[in-house]
Amino acid sequence: MTTDTTGTVARDGDSRPGGPADSPFIRACRRRPVPHTPVWFMRQAGRSLPEYREIRASVPMLESCRRPELVTEITLQPVRRHGVDAAILFSDIVVPVAAAGIDLDIVPGTGPVVAEPIRTAADVERIRRITRDDVSYVDEAVRQLVVELGDTPLIGFAGAPFTLASYLVEGGPSRTHAKTKALMYGDPELWHALCARLAEVTLAFLRVQIEAGVSAVQLFDSWAGALSEADYRRFVLPHSTTVLSGLVNSGVPRIHFGVGTGELLGAMGEAGADVVGVDWRTPLDVATGRIGADKAVQGNLDPCVLLAPWPVVEAEVRRILEQGRAAPGHVFNLGHGVLPETDPEVLTRVVALVHELSSRRADQG
Ligand code: CP3
Protein backbone atom coordinates (compact mmCIF):
# COMPACT_ATOMS: atom_id res chain seq x y z
CA MET A 1 0.00 0.00 0.00
CA THR A 2 1.17 3.54 -0.75
CA THR A 3 -0.15 6.89 0.42
CA ASP A 4 -0.61 9.67 -2.12
CA THR A 5 -0.56 13.44 -1.61
CA THR A 6 -4.27 13.51 -0.72
CA GLY A 7 -3.59 11.15 2.17
CA THR A 8 -5.49 8.37 0.44
CA VAL A 9 -4.21 4.84 0.69
CA ALA A 10 -3.92 3.49 -2.85
CA ARG A 11 -4.39 -0.19 -3.56
CA ASP A 12 -1.30 -2.14 -4.48
CA GLY A 13 -1.19 -3.38 -8.04
CA ASP A 14 -3.90 -1.34 -9.68
CA SER A 15 -2.26 2.08 -9.34
CA ARG A 16 0.13 1.15 -12.17
CA PRO A 17 0.16 3.77 -14.96
CA GLY A 18 -2.89 3.22 -17.14
CA GLY A 19 -4.68 0.98 -14.60
CA PRO A 20 -8.13 1.86 -13.18
CA ALA A 21 -6.63 3.73 -10.20
CA ASP A 22 -4.73 5.95 -12.67
CA SER A 23 -7.80 6.55 -14.88
CA PRO A 24 -9.12 10.09 -15.49
CA PHE A 25 -12.19 9.27 -13.34
CA ILE A 26 -10.25 8.18 -10.26
CA ARG A 27 -7.68 10.95 -10.75
CA ALA A 28 -10.48 13.57 -10.83
CA CYS A 29 -12.05 12.06 -7.68
CA ARG A 30 -8.66 12.46 -5.99
CA ARG A 31 -8.20 16.01 -7.32
CA ARG A 32 -5.20 15.11 -9.45
CA PRO A 33 -4.49 16.48 -12.95
CA VAL A 34 -6.45 14.71 -15.71
CA PRO A 35 -5.94 14.37 -19.50
CA HIS A 36 -9.65 15.16 -19.97
CA THR A 37 -12.68 15.66 -17.73
CA PRO A 38 -14.10 12.19 -17.05
CA VAL A 39 -17.79 11.54 -17.72
CA TRP A 40 -20.32 8.88 -16.76
CA PHE A 41 -24.09 9.01 -16.25
CA MET A 42 -26.12 8.02 -13.22
CA ARG A 43 -28.49 5.19 -14.26
CA GLN A 44 -26.48 4.72 -17.47
CA ALA A 45 -26.93 0.93 -17.25
CA GLY A 46 -30.42 0.13 -18.38
CA ARG A 47 -33.15 2.66 -18.95
CA SER A 48 -32.64 4.12 -22.43
CA LEU A 49 -30.72 1.26 -24.05
CA PRO A 50 -32.57 -1.11 -26.44
CA GLU A 51 -30.02 -3.86 -25.79
CA TYR A 52 -30.89 -3.57 -22.08
CA ARG A 53 -34.64 -3.69 -22.68
CA GLU A 54 -34.18 -6.85 -24.72
CA ILE A 55 -32.46 -8.62 -21.81
CA ARG A 56 -34.95 -7.38 -19.23
CA ALA A 57 -38.03 -8.29 -21.33
CA SER A 58 -38.04 -11.78 -19.82
CA VAL A 59 -36.28 -11.24 -16.46
CA PRO A 60 -37.73 -9.39 -13.43
CA MET A 61 -35.54 -6.59 -12.00
CA LEU A 62 -34.47 -8.25 -8.73
CA GLU A 63 -33.70 -11.52 -10.48
CA SER A 64 -31.54 -9.70 -13.03
CA CYS A 65 -29.54 -8.20 -10.12
CA ARG A 66 -28.91 -11.71 -8.75
CA ARG A 67 -27.58 -13.25 -11.97
CA PRO A 68 -23.87 -12.34 -12.30
CA GLU A 69 -23.76 -12.96 -16.07
CA LEU A 70 -26.66 -10.53 -16.61
CA VAL A 71 -25.22 -7.95 -14.20
CA THR A 72 -21.93 -8.13 -16.09
CA GLU A 73 -23.52 -7.77 -19.51
CA ILE A 74 -25.83 -4.87 -18.52
CA THR A 75 -23.01 -3.03 -16.72
CA LEU A 76 -20.78 -3.27 -19.81
CA GLN A 77 -23.41 -2.09 -22.32
CA PRO A 78 -23.05 1.69 -21.74
CA VAL A 79 -19.25 1.42 -21.64
CA ARG A 80 -19.20 -0.24 -25.08
CA ARG A 81 -21.78 2.08 -26.55
CA HIS A 82 -20.85 5.51 -25.17
CA GLY A 83 -17.17 5.21 -24.20
CA VAL A 84 -17.89 6.56 -20.71
CA ASP A 85 -14.95 6.88 -18.30
CA ALA A 86 -16.47 4.60 -15.66
CA ALA A 87 -18.92 1.73 -15.36
CA ILE A 88 -21.50 1.53 -12.56
CA LEU A 89 -22.52 -1.84 -11.24
CA PHE A 90 -26.00 -2.83 -12.37
CA SER A 91 -27.99 -3.41 -9.18
CA ASP A 92 -30.47 -1.49 -7.04
CA ILE A 93 -30.36 0.21 -3.65
CA VAL A 94 -32.85 -2.31 -2.21
CA VAL A 95 -30.74 -5.38 -3.14
CA PRO A 96 -28.86 -5.51 0.23
CA VAL A 97 -32.10 -4.89 2.16
CA ALA A 98 -33.71 -7.87 0.43
CA ALA A 99 -30.56 -9.88 1.21
CA ALA A 100 -30.99 -8.81 4.86
CA GLY A 101 -34.32 -10.63 4.95
CA ILE A 102 -36.88 -7.93 4.12
CA ASP A 103 -39.64 -9.17 1.82
CA LEU A 104 -39.79 -6.70 -1.07
CA ASP A 105 -40.20 -6.55 -4.80
CA ILE A 106 -39.40 -4.05 -7.53
CA VAL A 107 -42.69 -3.44 -9.28
CA PRO A 108 -42.48 -2.29 -12.93
CA GLY A 109 -43.63 1.31 -13.29
CA THR A 110 -43.58 1.88 -9.50
CA GLY A 111 -40.26 0.93 -7.93
CA PRO A 112 -39.47 -0.91 -4.69
CA VAL A 113 -42.52 -2.14 -2.73
CA VAL A 114 -42.08 -3.57 0.78
CA ALA A 115 -44.52 -6.30 1.90
CA GLU A 116 -44.50 -5.36 5.62
CA PRO A 117 -43.25 -1.79 6.20
CA ILE A 118 -40.94 -1.11 9.15
CA ARG A 119 -42.78 0.67 12.00
CA THR A 120 -41.59 -0.85 15.33
CA ALA A 121 -38.40 -1.90 17.16
CA ALA A 122 -39.29 -5.54 16.42
CA ASP A 123 -39.49 -4.62 12.72
CA VAL A 124 -35.97 -3.16 12.87
CA GLU A 125 -34.72 -6.49 14.23
CA ARG A 126 -36.09 -8.17 11.09
CA ILE A 127 -33.32 -6.38 9.14
CA ARG A 128 -30.51 -8.89 9.57
CA ARG A 129 -26.82 -8.03 9.37
CA ILE A 130 -25.37 -9.29 6.09
CA THR A 131 -22.14 -11.03 5.11
CA ARG A 132 -20.53 -11.71 1.75
CA ASP A 133 -22.44 -14.99 1.47
CA ASP A 134 -25.78 -13.13 1.51
CA VAL A 135 -24.73 -11.19 -1.62
CA SER A 136 -22.35 -13.68 -3.27
CA TYR A 137 -23.88 -12.84 -6.67
CA VAL A 138 -22.65 -9.23 -6.30
CA ASP A 139 -19.18 -10.43 -5.29
CA GLU A 140 -19.08 -12.71 -8.32
CA ALA A 141 -20.37 -10.05 -10.75
CA VAL A 142 -17.81 -7.47 -9.56
CA ARG A 143 -14.95 -9.97 -9.94
CA GLN A 144 -16.06 -10.80 -13.51
CA LEU A 145 -16.50 -7.14 -14.34
CA VAL A 146 -13.09 -6.06 -13.09
CA VAL A 147 -11.53 -8.57 -15.52
CA GLU A 148 -13.77 -7.52 -18.43
CA LEU A 149 -13.32 -3.79 -17.83
CA GLY A 150 -9.52 -3.79 -17.75
CA ASP A 151 -8.42 -0.18 -17.26
CA THR A 152 -11.96 1.25 -17.01
CA PRO A 153 -12.90 1.79 -13.35
CA LEU A 154 -16.03 0.16 -11.89
CA ILE A 155 -18.16 2.17 -9.44
CA GLY A 156 -19.90 0.25 -6.67
CA PHE A 157 -22.86 1.79 -4.88
CA ALA A 158 -25.42 1.59 -2.11
CA GLY A 159 -28.41 3.55 -0.86
CA ALA A 160 -27.82 5.75 2.19
CA PRO A 161 -29.69 5.12 5.46
CA PHE A 162 -32.28 7.94 4.98
CA THR A 163 -33.27 6.95 1.44
CA LEU A 164 -33.44 3.26 2.36
CA ALA A 165 -35.43 4.08 5.51
CA SER A 166 -37.91 6.03 3.40
CA TYR A 167 -38.71 2.98 1.23
CA LEU A 168 -38.89 0.70 4.28
CA VAL A 169 -41.11 2.94 6.39
CA GLU A 170 -43.40 4.12 3.58
CA GLY A 171 -43.59 0.66 2.03
CA GLY A 172 -42.77 2.12 -1.39
CA PRO A 173 -41.93 5.36 -3.24
CA SER A 174 -43.30 8.51 -1.60
CA ARG A 175 -43.48 12.15 -2.66
CA THR A 176 -43.69 13.67 0.83
CA HIS A 177 -41.90 11.02 2.95
CA ALA A 178 -44.68 11.74 5.49
CA LYS A 179 -44.62 8.40 7.36
CA THR A 180 -40.82 8.47 7.41
CA LYS A 181 -40.72 11.97 8.89
CA ALA A 182 -43.54 11.15 11.33
CA LEU A 183 -41.40 8.31 12.70
CA MET A 184 -38.26 10.46 12.70
CA TYR A 185 -39.88 13.32 14.67
CA GLY A 186 -42.20 11.14 16.75
CA ASP A 187 -39.82 8.41 17.87
CA PRO A 188 -36.21 9.55 17.46
CA GLU A 189 -34.90 6.54 19.39
CA LEU A 190 -36.53 4.08 16.99
CA TRP A 191 -35.45 6.23 14.03
CA HIS A 192 -31.80 6.14 15.11
CA ALA A 193 -32.00 2.37 15.73
CA LEU A 194 -33.39 1.85 12.22
CA CYS A 195 -30.77 4.06 10.56
CA ALA A 196 -27.94 2.51 12.60
CA ARG A 197 -28.96 -0.95 11.40
CA LEU A 198 -29.25 0.26 7.79
CA ALA A 199 -25.80 1.86 8.06
CA GLU A 200 -24.37 -1.50 9.17
CA VAL A 201 -25.98 -3.29 6.20
CA THR A 202 -24.85 -0.60 3.76
CA LEU A 203 -21.30 -0.58 5.06
CA ALA A 204 -21.07 -4.38 4.83
CA PHE A 205 -22.51 -4.29 1.29
CA LEU A 206 -19.98 -1.67 0.13
CA ARG A 207 -17.11 -3.58 1.74
CA VAL A 208 -18.06 -6.69 -0.24
CA GLN A 209 -17.93 -4.64 -3.45
CA ILE A 210 -14.59 -3.05 -2.53
CA GLU A 211 -13.02 -6.39 -1.63
CA ALA A 212 -14.22 -7.77 -4.97
CA GLY A 213 -12.44 -4.93 -6.76
CA VAL A 214 -14.58 -1.82 -7.41
CA SER A 215 -12.44 1.32 -7.91
CA ALA A 216 -14.85 3.82 -6.28
CA VAL A 217 -18.17 3.83 -4.43
CA GLN A 218 -21.18 6.12 -4.56
CA LEU A 219 -23.59 6.50 -1.66
CA PHE A 220 -27.00 7.50 -3.05
CA ASP A 221 -29.04 9.58 -0.58
CA SER A 222 -31.47 10.48 -3.32
CA TRP A 223 -34.24 11.75 -1.06
CA ALA A 224 -32.17 13.57 1.62
CA GLY A 225 -33.18 16.88 0.01
CA ALA A 226 -36.58 16.45 1.69
CA LEU A 227 -34.96 17.56 4.97
CA SER A 228 -33.83 20.90 6.39
CA GLU A 229 -30.14 21.19 7.14
CA ALA A 230 -30.81 21.08 10.90
CA ASP A 231 -32.86 17.89 10.63
CA TYR A 232 -30.34 16.37 8.22
CA ARG A 233 -27.55 17.03 10.72
CA ARG A 234 -29.52 15.60 13.63
CA PHE A 235 -31.24 12.60 12.06
CA VAL A 236 -29.17 11.55 9.04
CA LEU A 237 -25.59 12.83 9.07
CA PRO A 238 -24.40 10.55 11.93
CA HIS A 239 -25.53 7.45 10.03
CA SER A 240 -24.18 8.42 6.62
CA THR A 241 -20.94 9.28 8.44
CA THR A 242 -20.83 5.74 9.86
CA VAL A 243 -20.90 4.42 6.30
CA LEU A 244 -18.50 6.86 4.63
CA SER A 245 -16.00 7.15 7.48
CA GLY A 246 -16.06 3.36 7.74
CA LEU A 247 -14.49 3.30 4.28
CA VAL A 248 -11.84 5.93 4.90
CA ASN A 249 -9.03 3.36 4.75
CA SER A 250 -10.54 1.32 1.94
CA GLY A 251 -8.31 2.87 -0.72
CA VAL A 252 -11.21 3.88 -3.00
CA PRO A 253 -12.77 7.34 -3.42
CA ARG A 254 -16.25 7.88 -1.96
CA ILE A 255 -18.94 9.87 -3.79
CA HIS A 256 -21.96 11.19 -1.86
CA PHE A 257 -25.03 12.21 -3.87
CA GLY A 258 -28.58 13.45 -3.30
CA VAL A 259 -31.30 15.40 -5.12
CA GLY A 260 -32.52 18.84 -3.98
CA THR A 261 -29.56 19.03 -1.60
CA GLY A 262 -28.38 22.59 -2.36
CA GLU A 263 -28.73 23.47 1.34
CA LEU A 264 -27.06 20.22 2.44
CA LEU A 265 -23.96 20.16 0.23
CA GLY A 266 -21.57 21.23 2.99
CA ALA A 267 -22.97 18.66 5.44
CA MET A 268 -22.92 15.90 2.82
CA GLY A 269 -19.25 16.60 2.25
CA GLU A 270 -18.62 16.53 6.01
CA ALA A 271 -20.11 13.03 6.17
CA GLY A 272 -16.81 11.84 4.70
CA ALA A 273 -16.95 12.17 0.92
CA ASP A 274 -14.12 12.68 -1.54
CA VAL A 275 -16.61 13.80 -4.19
CA VAL A 276 -19.99 15.48 -3.64
CA GLY A 277 -22.75 14.93 -6.21
CA VAL A 278 -24.73 18.03 -7.21
CA ASP A 279 -28.19 18.07 -8.83
CA TRP A 280 -29.23 20.53 -11.57
CA ARG A 281 -30.35 23.29 -9.15
CA THR A 282 -26.92 24.41 -7.92
CA PRO A 283 -24.18 25.46 -10.38
CA LEU A 284 -20.87 23.69 -9.75
CA ASP A 285 -18.98 26.88 -8.86
CA VAL A 286 -21.60 27.80 -6.24
CA ALA A 287 -21.59 24.18 -5.00
CA THR A 288 -17.80 24.29 -4.63
CA GLY A 289 -18.14 27.40 -2.47
CA ARG A 290 -20.44 25.46 -0.15
CA ILE A 291 -18.49 22.19 -0.14
CA GLY A 292 -14.96 23.61 0.16
CA ALA A 293 -11.85 23.25 -1.95
CA ASP A 294 -10.84 19.89 -0.45
CA LYS A 295 -13.46 17.87 -2.37
CA ALA A 296 -14.24 17.17 -6.00
CA VAL A 297 -17.72 17.68 -7.50
CA GLN A 298 -19.86 15.63 -9.87
CA GLY A 299 -23.12 16.28 -11.72
CA ASN A 300 -25.36 19.26 -12.51
CA LEU A 301 -26.63 18.54 -16.07
CA ASP A 302 -30.43 18.43 -15.90
CA PRO A 303 -31.45 15.00 -17.34
CA CYS A 304 -34.32 16.79 -19.14
CA VAL A 305 -31.84 18.90 -21.12
CA LEU A 306 -30.91 15.71 -23.00
CA LEU A 307 -34.43 15.75 -24.48
CA ALA A 308 -33.84 19.22 -26.04
CA PRO A 309 -32.28 19.99 -29.46
CA TRP A 310 -28.51 19.44 -29.67
CA PRO A 311 -27.46 23.15 -29.54
CA VAL A 312 -29.17 23.42 -26.14
CA VAL A 313 -27.34 20.31 -24.91
CA GLU A 314 -24.03 21.63 -26.21
CA ALA A 315 -24.46 25.01 -24.50
CA GLU A 316 -25.23 23.30 -21.18
CA VAL A 317 -22.22 20.97 -21.48
CA ARG A 318 -20.00 24.02 -22.09
CA ARG A 319 -21.48 25.88 -19.11
CA ILE A 320 -20.95 22.93 -16.76
CA LEU A 321 -17.36 22.37 -17.91
CA GLU A 322 -16.65 26.06 -17.35
CA GLN A 323 -18.23 26.19 -13.88
CA GLY A 324 -16.61 22.85 -12.96
CA ARG A 325 -13.21 24.55 -13.31
CA ALA A 326 -13.87 26.23 -9.94
CA ALA A 327 -13.62 22.82 -8.24
CA PRO A 328 -10.33 21.04 -7.47
CA GLY A 329 -11.69 17.95 -9.26
CA HIS A 330 -14.64 17.61 -11.67
CA VAL A 331 -16.48 14.49 -12.82
CA PHE A 332 -19.01 15.28 -15.54
CA ASN A 333 -22.44 13.73 -14.87
CA LEU A 334 -26.15 14.43 -14.78
CA GLY A 335 -27.92 16.00 -11.80
CA HIS A 336 -29.95 12.77 -11.45
CA GLY A 337 -30.46 9.56 -13.43
CA VAL A 338 -30.85 9.21 -17.21
CA LEU A 339 -34.55 9.37 -18.15
CA PRO A 340 -35.84 6.27 -19.96
CA GLU A 341 -36.97 8.35 -22.98
CA THR A 342 -33.44 9.72 -23.60
CA ASP A 343 -32.01 9.04 -27.07
CA PRO A 344 -28.85 6.97 -26.41
CA GLU A 345 -27.14 8.72 -29.34
CA VAL A 346 -27.30 11.99 -27.40
CA LEU A 347 -25.47 10.36 -24.48
CA THR A 348 -22.73 9.17 -26.86
CA ARG A 349 -22.42 12.68 -28.31
CA VAL A 350 -22.19 14.23 -24.83
CA VAL A 351 -19.31 11.90 -23.92
CA ALA A 352 -17.43 12.84 -27.10
CA LEU A 353 -18.08 16.55 -26.55
CA VAL A 354 -16.93 16.52 -22.92
CA HIS A 355 -13.74 14.73 -23.96
CA GLU A 356 -13.09 17.05 -26.88
CA LEU A 357 -13.71 20.31 -25.01
CA SER A 358 -11.72 19.30 -21.95
CA SER A 359 -8.71 17.59 -23.58
CA ARG A 360 -5.47 18.97 -22.27
CA ARG A 361 -2.32 18.39 -24.26
CA ALA A 362 0.52 16.87 -22.23
CA ASP A 363 2.72 19.90 -22.94
CA GLN A 364 0.10 22.16 -21.32
CA GLY A 365 0.75 20.36 -18.03
O1 CP3 B 1 -32.04 7.24 -9.08
C2 CP3 B 1 -31.58 7.44 -7.96
O3 CP3 B 1 -31.97 8.35 -7.18
C4 CP3 B 1 -30.45 6.60 -7.51
C5 CP3 B 1 -30.68 5.83 -6.28
C6 CP3 B 1 -31.74 4.79 -6.48
C7 CP3 B 1 -31.52 3.59 -7.18
N8 CP3 B 1 -32.67 2.86 -7.08
C9 CP3 B 1 -30.23 3.21 -7.74
C10 CP3 B 1 -30.16 2.40 -8.96
C11 CP3 B 1 -33.06 4.83 -6.03
C12 CP3 B 1 -33.75 5.94 -5.25
C13 CP3 B 1 -33.64 3.59 -6.41
C14 CP3 B 1 -35.00 3.12 -6.08
C15 CP3 B 1 -35.67 2.59 -7.25
N16 CP3 B 1 -35.42 1.34 -7.77
C17 CP3 B 1 -36.58 3.25 -8.09
C18 CP3 B 1 -37.09 4.66 -7.91
C19 CP3 B 1 -38.46 4.67 -7.37
C20 CP3 B 1 -38.84 5.99 -6.79
O21 CP3 B 1 -38.91 6.11 -5.57
O22 CP3 B 1 -39.03 6.94 -7.56
C23 CP3 B 1 -36.89 2.36 -9.15
C24 CP3 B 1 -37.80 2.61 -10.30
C25 CP3 B 1 -36.14 1.17 -8.91
C26 CP3 B 1 -36.09 -0.04 -9.75
C27 CP3 B 1 -34.95 -0.06 -10.67
N28 CP3 B 1 -33.62 0.18 -10.33
C29 CP3 B 1 -34.99 -0.41 -12.06
C30 CP3 B 1 -36.23 -0.74 -12.82
C31 CP3 B 1 -33.65 -0.35 -12.53
C32 CP3 B 1 -33.13 -0.70 -13.91
C33 CP3 B 1 -33.23 0.33 -14.93
C34 CP3 B 1 -33.48 1.75 -14.54
O35 CP3 B 1 -34.66 2.11 -14.57
O36 CP3 B 1 -32.52 2.45 -14.20
C37 CP3 B 1 -32.82 0.02 -11.45
C38 CP3 B 1 -31.35 0.14 -11.56
C39 CP3 B 1 -30.63 1.03 -10.63
N40 CP3 B 1 -31.14 1.64 -9.52
C41 CP3 B 1 -29.25 1.35 -10.72
C42 CP3 B 1 -28.97 2.24 -9.70
C43 CP3 B 1 -27.66 2.94 -9.40
C44 CP3 B 1 -28.25 0.73 -11.70
C45 CP3 B 1 -28.22 1.30 -13.05
C46 CP3 B 1 -27.34 2.50 -13.27
O47 CP3 B 1 -27.04 3.31 -12.37
O48 CP3 B 1 -26.90 2.70 -14.39
What is the predicted pLDDT for the residue at 15? 59
| Interval 286-312 mean pLDDT | 98
Q: Is the per-residue pLDDT at 361 higher than 90?
A: no
- Dist CA 321 CA 314 (whole Å): 11
Q: Is the per-residue pLDDT at 109 higher than 90?
A: yes
| Interval 66-82 mean pLDDT | 98
What is the predicted pLDDT for the residue at 125? 98
Nearest CA residue ID for atom 22, ligand 1: 173
Q: What is the mean pLDDT of the chain?
A: 94
- Span 241-261, pLDDT tens digits: 999 999 999 999 999 999 999
Q: Is the per-residue pLDDT at 281 higher than 90?
A: yes
Nearest CA residue ID for atom 34, ligand 1: 47
Q: What is the largest CA-CA distance in the chain?
A: 63
Ligand 1 center to 70 CA (angstroms):
16
- Dist CA 69 CA 67 (whole Å): 6
Ligand 1 site residues, Cβ closer than 6 angstroms: 42-47, 61, 88, 90-93, 106, 111-112, 157, 163, 173, 220, 222, 337
- Dist CA 123 CA 249 (whole Å): 32
What is the predicted pLDDT for the residue at 46? 86
- Span 152-201, pLDDT tens digits: 999 999 999 999 999 999 999 999 999 999 999 999 999 999 999 999 99
DSSP for 12-36? TTTTSTTSGGGSHHHHHHTT---SS
Question: pLDDT exceeding 90 applies to what percent of the chain?
Answer: 93
Question: Among candidates 206, 196, 213, 209, which has minimal Cα distance to 256?
Answer: 206
Ligand 1 center to 4 CA (angstroms):
34
What is the predicted pLDDT for the residue at 13? 41
| Interval 311-329 mean pLDDT | 98
- Span 2-58, pLDDT tens digits: 434 333 444 544 556 789 999 999 999 999 999 999 999 999 998 899 999 999 999
- Dist CA 109 CA 179 (whole Å): 22
For residue 258, the cross-strand partners are none
Ligand 1 atom closest to the CA of 172, numbered from 1:
21
| Interval 57-73 mean pLDDT | 97
Give the 3-state secondary structure of residue 275: strand
Question: pLDDT exceeding 70 applies to what percent of the chain?
Answer: 94
- Dist CA 218 CA 295 (whole Å): 14
CB 279 within 8 A of CB 335: yes
Q: Which residues are catalytic?
A: 43, 47, 56, 92, 167
| Interval 200-226 mean pLDDT | 98
What is the predicted pLDDT for the residue at 365? 42
- Span 333-349, pLDDT tens digits: 999 999 999 999 999 99
DSSP for 43-106? T-SSTT-HHHHHHHTTS-HHHHHT-HHHHHHHHHHHHHHH--S-EE----TTHHHHHTT--EEE
- Dist CA 162 CA 351 (whole Å): 32
What is the predicted pLDDT for the residue at 354? 98
Nearest CA residue ID for atom 17, ligand 1: 111
Element (H, E) at 301: strand 296-301
For residue 331, the cross-strand partners are 298
Ligand 1 center to 62 CA (angstroms):
11
Ligand 1 atom closest to the CA of 173, numbered from 1:
21
**pTM (predicted TM-score):** 0.94
Ligand 1 center to 49 CA (angstroms):
15
Nearest CA residue ID for atom 48, ligand 1: 43
